Every structure is written in C-alpha cells, then in structure tokens.
Structure 1
C-alpha cells in the first residue's frame, strides 16, 4: 500500500477569477491538512475571498488579493482571533469578522477593509 501525502499547494488562479493561467506554489516539506475558502462582505461594499490552509504541523496560511497582488499571509501570534501577515499587510479575523490593515500606516488610520463579515455557508 502506497501512502500518498498531501502537500501545501496554493493555486494562484483560485484567488482571482480573471487569471487565465495557474501557477501552483508547492512546498513539499509542509503538508496541508485542510483547506477552505471563505468569502467576506465588507462595510465599504467590497467582497474579499480568502483561502485558508491549515497544516499538519499546526501552521496556518491565508491567501488573498490586496491591491491587485496575490499574497500568501502567514499566521502569527495574536492576543485574540487569528492574525495573518504578508508584506506590510495584516489580515485579522475574530470569529466571523475580519479587517485588513496596512502595518506601515499611522496607528490611528482606519483599516483598508473594515468590518468584513463572513458569508453564511
């Protein structure tokens, strides 16, 4: 019996409907355990789709498009909820709600995406 391993693979096309070609990112050393996509409706009327991946070694990732760039966010320690970072951006979820921040903006700056609510499944 051959034991097949699932590896962490993100398909860039899955993050943006208008992308014609898919370039998968495969990291054989990190095995994905579960993947789910959640759509959020934000206060400003925008919608964002986020692909979450949890791995067997208890790492978590979130893939989403910010300013036209497809980014892979990595989970980091948070006082509450789940906090993911990529480049200068922070995607912070608490239950079904989420906000996107620019970590280089002034402390009192509003989120780039505010009061995003996960759609019911």
Structure 2
C-alpha cells in the first residue's frame, strides 16, 4: 500500500472509531445487596414538550432503581439525560440540568424547565 493510501485508510479508521465511539454505554457499580430494577415506560407529551426538546412522537423513559438510587433516563434534545430522584410531596420527581420530570401518580406526568427564557411546562401521558 502506498503512502497516500495508507494515510486515507488510517484516516477512515480514526473516523469510523470516533463515530462508533460517540455512542456510549455507561456502567455504574453500586454497593449493597438490594437488587437493581429497570422498567421502561412509553410516553407522549403535548406540543410544548417538543419545543422543550422532548421527542414529538412516542418515546421511552427508562427507570432504574436500587442501592438507594432512583433514576429516570429521558431523551431531551437528542441526548439521553440521567435524571436523579429528588424530594417530592407526592409521586416521583426527578431533576437534570434545568429540567424536572415529575410523575405525580394519578395526576399525570409533567416535564418542566426553568431557564433564562422563563418557566415552561409540558403535560405528558403514558402510552400502553
């Protein structure tokens, strides 16, 4: 293989590695004997949700619980954001960046954001 071909092949290898490398998996090691549970729930939100970065179509949220942690992985702005459970008077309330994902039990799910642009809220519902 001549030098220019070798450079092109090396460049393509680096490019393909960076594309493959951009998709990430995360492993978190948690101490304790409590089993880890995972549940995926599908949602659809109103049009305000898509303006805030949620998918316009039906999307999935993964809930991970165990070892004293409760997390919700929500697709926002084309990324999977990890929301951590925070204190709530009712239901399960999760926070990430400026966002709140709040499953208030029988009252439904809200997605809200407080930013310089102001407070925004979207109403969401489970899709079976």
1 CA distance for matches of 2:43 and 2:64?
17
**What CA distance in whole angstroms lies between the structure 2 residues aligned with 1:118 and 1:69?**
20
Unaligned segments of structure 1, at least 5 residues: 1-19
Q: 1:30, CA displacement in angstroms?
A: 4.8
Which has the larger share of helix?
2
Task: For structure 2, list consecutive stretches of 5 or more residues without a partner in the other structure.
Answer: 1-19, 48-55
The CA RMSD measured in Å over matched residues stands at: 2.4
What does residue 123 of structure 2 align with? 115
Q: Deviations along 1:62-120, whole A, 9 cap, x unmatched?
A: 011111222111000012111111111111111262111113253xx331xx2211123
SS in 1 for 2:46: coil
Distance 1:91 1:30 in 2: 26
- Which structure has more strand as a fraction of its residues? 1
Query: Mean Cα displacement is larger for which, 40-49 or 72-81?
Result: 40-49
Total equivalences in the alignment: 97
Structure possessing the higher radius of gyration over alpha carbons: 2
Distance 1:52 1:30, change over 3 A: farther
Alignment TM-score, normalising by the size of structure 1: 0.67
Distance 2:70 2:102 in 1: 13
